[in-house]
Structure 1
Amino acid sequence: MNQKIAILGAGSWGTALAILAARNGCQVLLWGHNPEHIRSLDQHRQNQRYLPGMVFPENIAVTSDLKDIAPFSQLILVCVPSQVFKQTLLALKPYCTDNIAVAWATKGFNPDDGSLLHEVVAEIFGLQTPAALLSGPTFAREVAADLPTAITIAANQAKFAHQLASIFHSERFRTYTSTDLIGVEVGGAVKNVLAIAAGIADGLGFGANTRAALITRGLNEIIRLGVQLGGKQDTFMGLAGLGDLILTCTDNQSRNRRFGLALGQGKSRDEITKEIGQEIEGISAAKETYLLALKYGIDMPITEQTYKVLYEQLAPQTAVQNLLSREQKPEA
C-alpha cells in the first residue's frame, strides 16, 4: 500500500494500531510525549512497558517531536487519553496544513465541558476536516498478537472511512464503516463507566446474574444518553455499543473492570490507580456522563451510583443497595 500514517500516543493501543498498520504495508510514524520512552521503543524495537514481546515491523519509525508529524503524513490517528486529547491537538495544529485528516481511537468525553471528541476536532481544525473514530471490542495485546478482531470506523465523510478501512482491514482484523460518529463515541465512553460498575459487583462477590443484569441495564443507559445526543439506536446494538460493553465488563484485560474489581474488594482509589499504572478512562467518564445525564434529565442509575462511589465516597455496598431498592417498574 505504501500509505503513510502518523499515530499519536505510544501506549498499548497506539502501539498495537501502529503494528497492525505496518503489518498491512503502511509506513508508520509513532509519536509519544516521553523522550525516554521513545528512545526505549527505538532501541528495543518493541514497547517493553505496555506490549512486551510484540516486535515492531521494520516500517515503524518513532519520534517524540510533534514537528515531525505533519511532514511525514497529513493522515493522523490520535490514541492519547481523552484527558489530553484536546491539548495534544492544539499542540499539533501549528505544524499542520489545511489538508490534514484526523482520526482517533480515544474513548471518552472532553473533560473541559463534556463535549464529544469530534466536536473538539471540528473546533480546532474546522468542520470541513475529514474526521473519523475507530472503536469497538478491542484489547491492544490481542490486536498486536494478530488475533481475530472486528471494529467500527465512523466518519463524517464516507471516503475517509473507506480510506481508514483499507489501512487497517485484514484477514484477522475486520473493519465496518458507519456514519454515526455520535453513537460510536457515546458507546465507547460510557461503557468504561459500566465496566467499573461490573468490576465493583464482582469485587463484592456477586455472581454472573448480577453482572448480566448490569450489562443489560447499562446498555439501556447508553442508549438513552446516546439517542438524546443524536446517536442512532441501531449503533448501540453493534460492535461499538453492545460489543465493546460486553468486552470491558467481562474480561480482566479491561483496566476499568480491574479498577472496579479492586474497589469492590476494599482497596482505595489511589492505591488501585498506582497498581494499574495506566489511564483508567472510566474515572473521568463517570463524572462527565453523570453531568450530561443531569443536564438532559436522563435516568442513568448505574452511572449515578458509580459516580457517587468515585466522587462522593459512597460505599460500594450502599451503591448496590440503592440500585436494588429502586421502585419496581416495567422493563421497557
Structure 2
Amino acid sequence: MKITLIGSGSWGTAIAGRAASNGNDVIMWSHSEECARGINEQGVNPRYLTQYELPKNVSATTDIVKALECADGIIFAVPSTHLREIANQAAPYICETTPILCLTKGIESTTGLLMNEVIGDECGHPERIAALSGPNHAEEVCQGQLSAAVIAAEDNDVASFFKGILLAPEFRIYLSGDVIGVEMCGAIKNIIAIVCGIASGAGFGDNTLALIMTRGLAEISRLVHARGGEALTCMGLAGMGDLVATCTSPHSRNRSFGHAFSQGTSLEQYQSQTHMVVEGAHAAKSATELAHILGVDAPLTFALNDALWHGQSMQEVLTNLVDRVPTEEFYGIIE
C-alpha cells in the first residue's frame, strides 16, 4: 500500500514508522523543508523524535500534490488549529473513495465540529473517515513498547482497513462505531490533563489529582452523551485509558504545559519553546462554547478557559471550583 501521512510532528512520525513497519510505503507531507530533508537524507525527523530512525520505506515531501498522488489511504496528523486549512488544500487531490484516518484531537472553535467532521466538511464523504485515539505517547510507540488504540468509523470496513495498516503485536488495535464518543474523549481529556498539570505545579497531591481525573471523566461523559456519543466509550481506551496517560505522564505536552503555566509560563512561550501545539488549551475555548450550546455543566473546562483566555488568576479559578456545591455523582449522564 501507499499511505500518505499529512503532518510531520511527533505523533505523525511515530505512526508513519508503525505503518511502514508493516511493509507499506509511507510518504509524509511536511510544511517544513528541514523536516522533509532530514527524513529523506538521514531517515530521522530533525525536530521531533530526533533519536528515532524511521524505516527505509518512509519518505517526505513539502509538495502536498505529490504526497497524495495514488494514495491507497490517507492519515491526517496536523494540529487542530491548522486542520481545516490543510484539509482544504488536500481535498482537490483526494479520490472520493480513498479511506481517511484522523489522528488530530480537538473541537473546532465557533463551529463545534470534531476533527473528523472538519475533514469531512472539506473532503466530502464522511462515511470513509475514521478516527484513532488511545493512551499512546509517540515516544513509547516508536520504541515498540506495548500500546493499544481504538479506531472508530461509521463504516467497519474503513476501520478494518486502517487496523490492517497499523496493527502489530506491540500495537494492539480495537474497533468502535462510536466516532463522536472517541473524538470527544480525545479532545476533552487534554483539557483535564492541563488542569492536572496546574494542580501538580501548584503543589497539590495525589488526592487532588485523583479528584480532578475522576470528575474530569464525569465531565467528559456528560459532553459525550450530550453530543450524541455513547457514555460507555468514556470507560475505554479513548476515554479512561487516554485520560490516565495524558494526566500522569511526563511525555504529555498538555500536563507539562499546565505545570509550566502554574509557574508563570504563558501559552505562547511554551509553544514557542517546544515547537508543539497545546491542543488542550485551544480545546478549552471551543469546548466551553460547545458546552454552553449543549447546556452541559463542565466546570473544569470552564475554569481552564477562564484562566487561559479571560485572565482570571489561579486563586480565583480555584475558589470558583471549591465553592461549588457537590451534587449527584453521575448527573447529566444517565437519563
TM over 0.5: yes
Shift of 1:129: 4.6
How is 1:87-236 mapped onto 2 (pairs within 5 angstroms)?
Answer: 87-127=85-125, 129-236=127-234
Residue identity opposite 2:45 in structure 1: N
- Aligned partners of 1:102 and 1:129 also within 8 Å: no
Q: Counterparts of 1:311 and 1:33 in 2: how far apart (Å)? A: 28
Q: 1:330 to 1:84 in 2, by over 3 A?
A: same
Whether the 8 Å contact between 1:107 and 1:281 is mirrored in structure 2 is: yes
Correspondence for 1:278:
276
1:59 Cα deviation after fit: 0.9
Q: Which residue of 2 aligns with 1:69?
A: 67
**Residue of 322, 325, 328 corresponding to 1:327:** 325
TM-score normalised to the size of structure 2? 0.95
Q: CA contact under 8 A between 2:75 and 2:103: conserved in structure 1?
A: yes
Q: Determine if contact 2:3/2:71 at 8 Å carries over to the other structure.
A: yes
**Separation in structure 2 between the aligned mates of residue 176 and residue 223 of structure 1, nearest angstrom:** 20
Q: CA shift at 1:24, angstroms?
A: 1.5
CA–CA separation in structure 2 for the residues paired with 1:19 and 1:122? 26
Which of these residues, 29, 32, 42, is aligned with residue 30 of structure 2?
Answer: 32
Residue pair 1:287, 1:307 contacting (<8 A) in 2 also: yes
Gaps of 5+ in 1: none
TM-score by length of 1: 0.96
Deviations 1:267-309 (A, max 9, x none): 3333333233211101110000111111111111111111000
CA-CA distance at 1:310 after TM superposition:
0.3
In 2, are the aligned partners of 1:151 and 1:240 still within 8 Å (CA)?
yes
Q: 2:42 aligns with which of 41, 44, 49?
A: 44
Does the Cα contact within 8 Å between 2:149 and 2:173 map onto a contact in 1? yes
Task: Choose 192-201 or 117-126, whichever is displaced more.
Answer: 117-126
Select 1:313's aligned residue among 304, 311, 324.
311
Match of 1:292 in 2: 290
Shift of 1:69: 2.5
Contact 1:29-1:72 at 8 Å conserved across structures: no
Cα 1:8–1:201 change in 2 (3 A) is same
Q: Is the 8 A contact 2:130 2:154 kept in 1?
A: yes
Q: Which residue of 1 is the match for residue 77 of structure 2?
A: 79
Counterpart residue type for residue 33 of structure 1: H
Which one is further off, 111-120 or 81-90? 111-120
Shift of 1:200: 0.6
Gaps of 5+ in 2: 331-335
Deviation of 1:322 (Å): 1.5
CA contact 1:46–1:55 (8 Å) conserved in 2: yes
CA distance in 1, matches of 2:72, 2:328: 51
Q: CA–CA distance in 2 between the matches of 1:227 and 1:12? A: 31
Q: CA RMSD in A?
A: 1.3
User: Which residue of 1 is the match for residue 236 of structure 2?
Assistant: 238
User: In terms of mean alpha carbon deviation, does 261-270 or 217-226 score higher?
Assistant: 261-270
